[in-house]
Amino acid sequence: MAVAKFFVGFIGLLVPLLASGEPCVGPKATSTSYTSTNIFMSSETVFLTEFSLACDNNAKDVSLYAEVNGKVMPVTRSTDNSKYQVSWSEEHKQAKSGVYTINFLDEEGYSNYRKAQRSGGSLDIKPLFTIDINHKGAGREGLWVQTEFIAVVAALLIWWCANNVKSKLQE
């Protein structure tokens, strides 16, 4: 009976270690970013960054979380584990222009962040690395009126001209 309890306890300790990602030592991220800037084309501003991560210890299976303005979200990995991606959206009015800093946390950093959040302590957890996104702000691009409005006005003008020509011909 004691051997069974030991075996269950050992497996219980081993499974979280196998399920967790490798720790990354000396991370170096190379990123590309995109933010939407056209109010007419979308209802919200979208922030997207894709990056590749190189670690000094050649860790490949790194689980990451991103923290931006107090919001924490998981970071997705490509199927070949070569690229990572994080994205979020905000209303245009809340997405002010400027530099947005994304703090990336590994599993340990995320755990410490959640503990500090629950206890009401300081959320100044040292990130694994950071990436800055420069957002120029969302604004109006292109025409000041929508193309649908222009099409309706053109159709009404054509109808009015045709109706005038028709009435003159019938006189």
Q: From first to last of the 171 residues of the chain, give the pLDDT tens digit.
A: 554 554 444 444 443 444 456 788 888 888 899 888 877 667 788 899 999 988 888 877 788 999 998 889 999 988 887 899 999 988 888 888 889 999 999 998 899 888 888 888 776 778 889 999 988 877 666 556 677 888 999 999 999 999 999 888 887
Q: Which residues are paired to 133 by β-bridges?
A: 100
Is pTM beyond 0.85? Reply is: no
Q: What is the pLDDT of residue 73?
A: 92
Q: What sign has the CA pseudo-torsion 90, 92, 93, 96?
A: positive
Q: What is the pLDDT of residue 17?
A: 42
Strands (E), the chain: 28-35, 44-54, 65-68, 71-74, 76-77, 84-91, 98-105, 129-135
**Residue ranges per domain, the chain?**
21-140, 142-170
In what helix (H) or strand (E) does residue 19 lie, and over which residues does it extend?
Answer: helix 2-19
Contacts of 59 (CB under 8 A, 6+ apart): 21, 22, 23, 24, 25
Q: What is the pLDDT of residue 19?
A: 43
Q: Which CATH architecture has domain 21-140?
A: Sandwich (2.60)
Q: What is the pLDDT of residue 41?
A: 67
Q: What is the pLDDT of residue 21?
A: 61
What backbone phi and psi angles, to 5 degrees, belong to 34? -145, 140
Q: What is the pLDDT of residue 45?
A: 87
Q: What is the pLDDT of residue 10?
A: 45
